């Protein structure tokens, strides 16, 4: 997935909706390139450029860029959730 390294994720399937939850991105400064495959089918690519910062005794992540590639998608700005459309 990221340079062929596995990444922690949760897969939830309910009400005819499949959810891939990746919570390990953004805890450190990193660039992540993921190829998401399900049952050997390429679904989409996910790119994240994250920069971990500490200011005024608080740590946070600045996401310089987040891209979903090779699939149609929609971003819910209220939740920060990406909906990937599949055939």
Encode pLDDT of 19-41 as tens digits: 888 989 999 999 999 999 888 88
Q: H helices then E strands: how many in the chain?
A: 0, 7
pLDDT over threshold 50, residue 13: yes
pLDDT at 1: 44
Average pLDDT, the chain: 90
Q: List the chain domain ranges.
A: 10-84
Report the pLDDT value the prediction gives residue 3, as an integer from 0 to 100. 59
What residues contact residue 2 under an 8 Å CB cut-off, 6+ apart?
32, 33, 34
> By percentage, how much of the chain surpasses pLDDT 90?
56
Range in 1-10, 13-22, 30-39, 77-86 the model is least confident about: 1-10
Helix, strand, coil fractions of the chain, as percent rounded to 5: 0, 65, 35
pLDDT, position 2: 53
Specify the pLDDT at position 68.
95
């Amino acid at each position: 997935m990221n340079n062929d390294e596995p990444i922690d994720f949760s897969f939830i399937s309910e009400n005819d909706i499949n959810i891939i939850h990746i919570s390990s991105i953004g805890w450190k400064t990193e660039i992540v390139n993921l190829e998401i495959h399900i049952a050997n089918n390429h679904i989409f690519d996910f790119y994240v450029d994250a920069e971990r910062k500490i200011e005024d005794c608080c740590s946070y992540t600045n996401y310089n860029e987040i891209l979903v590639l090779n699939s149609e998608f929609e971003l819910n700005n209220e939740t920060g959730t990406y909906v990937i459309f599949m055939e």
